[in-house]
Amino acid sequence: MSAKSRSVETLRQCEKPRELNALFILMNNATMEIQKIHSLWNHCHWLTVLAEQGSFTAAAARLGVSKAAMSQHIAELERQAGVALVQRSTRSVRLTEAGQQLVDSTRGAFEQIAQGFAQVRDRAESPSGLLRVTAPVALSRQQIVPRLPAFLAQYPDIRIELNLSDRLSALATEGFDLAIRHTDAPPDTHVATLLCRTQSVLVASRAYLQRAGAPQHPDDLAQHNCLHYPRPQSRPAWSLQRSGRGKNVHNTERVTVPIGGTLAANNSEALRDAALGGLGIALLPDFSAQTALQTGQLQVVLPGWTPVGSYAEHIYAIRPYSAHVPRAVSVFVDYWRAALRNGFAS
C-alpha cells in the first residue's frame, strides 16, 4: 500500500469515531425531545379543557385539580412552546392563535384516547364511573330524585352528579353526559330518546272550589284567581280543547281565555304549593300534580277539557352525539324509559 493510501485509510479510521459520536448525540437529543413531548401530553389535555370551559376556575373544577395547578401546567406548556398560548383577563381566558392551533391539532387525539379507554372500561362486569346529568328543577324534585335510590342500588359503582336547572345547557361544553328535558323540540345535533308523554292539567283544592265555585266552562276562568306560569305576552291566557265524540264524527272545540291572578311563578312546584294552600286554580304539568291528585289534596278542574300550548308534551333523555356510548349512560337511559313508561296519569 502506498504512503498516500495509508494516509487516506488512517483519516477514515479517525473520522469513524467522530461520526459515531455525532450519531449518538443526535439519537440522545431525539430521545430527550420525545421524552419532553411525552411529559407535556397532560399539559396539552388541560389546555383543551381550558378552551372548552373558558376559565381557569371552571377548567380546574372539571379536571378535579386546584386552580394553581391548572395555571402552573399552562405556564409550563407556554415555556416549552416558547410562545403565549393563552390571553388572560380578570374574568375569562382566550386562546391565542398558537394556542388554538395546538388545541385543534390535539383535541381529536384526546377524544379518541378517551373513547378507547371508555370502551375498555365498559368491558367490566358492572357499569361504573361518574355520570353528570342536568334536569329541570320541578321534574327532578318530584319524579327523578325519588327514583334515584333504586337506580343506585341496582348500579352501586355509578356515581351521579345531578344539576337541577331549567336553563338549557350546552352539554358538551359544560361537561354533562346527559340531560333530561321537558320539550317538544329536542336539538337535532344531539341524540334524543323519548322517555314518556306528559300533559297539562288544571287543578285546585277542594277548599278553593267550595269558596269560589267550580268553573263549568273555560270562559268561567276569567272570574277566578288563576295561578300561572309567566309568559312573554301582553296578557296571560290559557287555551283548552274539548273533544266531542259522536257516533261517526269527532268534533274538536278549542277555547282561549284571558286569565289573571295574584300569583305568577316560573316553577310548577311553586304553583302547585300555592294551589294546595287554596289560593286559586293552577295550570300544571301532570308530573307536578300527580301526587296531590292521587291523595285527593287537589282536584281536576274542568274535566273533559285539556289545556294545550302551555307546557311541552314530551320528556326526553338527550346526550351529545358520540360513536361510543358509555355503559353508565346506556343503563341510565334504559332505567328511565322503564320507570316513566306509563307517564304521570293519576
For the chain, 346 residues long, the average pLDDT of each consecutive 10-residue run is 51 50 49 59 82 83 86 86 81 82 81 69 73 94 95 95 83 84 90 94 97 96 95 84 58 88 94 97 96 96 93 93 85 96 84
DSSP assignment of 273-316:
HHHHTT--EEEEEHHHHHHHHHTTSSEESSTT-EEESSS-SEEE
SS (H, E, C) 111-127: HHHHHHHHHHHCCCCCC
* Signed CA dihedral, 172, 175, 178, 184: sign only: negative
Does residue 110 sit in helix, strand or coil? Answer: helix
Nearest 5°: the CA angle 135, 136, 137 is 115
Residues comprising the chain, all counted: 346
What does residue 127 show for φ and ψ, rounded to 5 degrees?
-60, 140
| CB of 185 closer than 8 Å to CB of 313 | no
| DSSP 8-state symbol, 264 | B
Task: State CA 159 to chain mean position distance.
Answer: 16
Query: Within 10 A of 218 (CB to CB), how many other CB atoms are there?
Result: 23
Tell the burial category of 328 from Cβ atoms under 10 Å away from its Cβ (0-12, 13-18, 19+): buried
Domains of the chain: 40-121 (1.10.10.10), 129-198+313-339 (3.40.190.10), 200-308 (3.40.190.290)
Query: Within 10 A of 306 (CB to CB), how many other CB atoms are there?
Result: 16
| CB of 136 closer than 8 Å to CB of 169 | no
Q: Which residues contact residue 338 at a Cβ distance below 8 angstroms, ignoring those fewer than 6 apart?
A: none
C-alpha cell at position 9: 485509510
**Closest to 282 measured CA to CA, from 250, 256, 307:** 307
C-alpha cell at position 228: 300561572
Residue recorded with cell 401546567:
73
- The confidence score (pLDDT) of residue 270 equals 95
Helix segments in the chain, DSSP class H: 3-39, 41-53, 56-63, 67-81, 97-121, 137-139, 148-154, 171-174, 206-212, 268-276, 286-294, 327-339
Spatial separation of the C-alpha atoms in residues 298 and 208, rounded to whole Å: 10
Query: Within 10 A of 234 (CB to CB), how many other CB atoms are there?
Result: 7
